[in-house]
Amino acid sequence: MQIINELLPEIKIANTVSTADLNQKVNIASFNEYEHLHSDLELYRCGYVKDNKMVGRVTIFGNGKMISVGTKSPKQSFKELRKALKILHEHGLIKSRRLKPQTRNIVANTDFKKSIDIEQLARSLPKSMYEPEQFPGLVHRMHHSVVALIFASGKAVIVGSKSIEDINSAYFDLNQFFNKM
């Protein structure tokens, strides 16, 4: 099966984390003076960008590093990083620049719609760990940085993916293994 660039319908993205670098210092202490910007420097050494159209929010550090969290796709995450750049530029806090966003982690959920014998799975699935006293699911290390958290209910959380292809591939591999059980 060819792993497609579009997310399989059986999978739902819960969160996408992407980063970018403005390559310039940002005065986050002034954020509370501007619309769509917020900071609480007594609590955290960063500021936040969030307008009413953004799904997630973008964290900005004084050194110009940016992190987008809370979006449902890499495309949406990149769009919110660019939106934050635009807001910062409009308020005169940075010089305009071209961003090179990178996806760092995609968290996705899926349901294989059948009960899974986790103990049997732990014995037969390589690179897996099951310690029910510490965590109710099986932790399965897959390819690259991808990890699947598999539960007896048949639900799974796929973390550590950097692309839609990684998520689809993980789902496909797990589904093939479950069908052989």
Q: In this predicted model, what pLDDT tens digit does every residue of 25-42 receive, in sequence order? A: 999 999 999 999 999 999
Look at phi and psi of residue 62 and say left if phi exceeds 0, alpha if psi is from -120 to 50, else beta.
alpha
Confidence check: pLDDT of 46 > 70: yes
Structure tokens at 152: 């007896």
67-119 pLDDT tens trace: 999 999 999 999 999 999 999 999 999 998 899 999 999 999 999 999 999 99
Of the two residues 61 and 143, the one the predictor is more confident about is 61
Structure confidence at residue 5 as a pLDDT band (50, 70, 90):
confident
Structure tokens at 7: 């997310």
Q: What is the per-residue pLDDT for 1?
A: 46
Residues of the chain with CATH 3.30.310.10: 17-103, 112-180
Q: Does the CA dihedral 157-159-164-166 come out positive or negative?
A: negative
Mean pLDDT in residue range 142-158: 94
Name the class of domain 112-180.
alpha beta
Structure confidence at residue 6 as a pLDDT band (50, 70, 90):
confident
Confidence check: pLDDT of 175 > 70: yes
Structure confidence at residue 4 as a pLDDT band (50, 70, 90):
low
Name the 3-class secondary structure at 58: strand
Mean pLDDT in residue range 39-63: 95
The pairing of beta strand 128-129 with beta strand 138-141 = antiparallel
Query: Is residue 170 a contact partner of residue 11, using CB atoms and an 8 Å limit?
Result: no
Question: With b meaning 16 or more CB within 10 Å and e meaning fewer, what string describes 64-92?
Answer: bebbbbbbbbbebbbbbbbbbbebbeebe
- Alpha carbon 178 to chain centroid, angstroms: 25
Confidence check: pLDDT of 3 > 70: no
Architecture of domain 17-103: 2-Layer Sandwich (3.30)
Nearest to 16 by CA among 140, 144, 161: 161
Confidence check: pLDDT of 140 > 90: yes
Cα(116)–Cα(50) distance, rounded to whole angstroms? 41
Q: What is the mean pLDDT of the chain?
A: 93
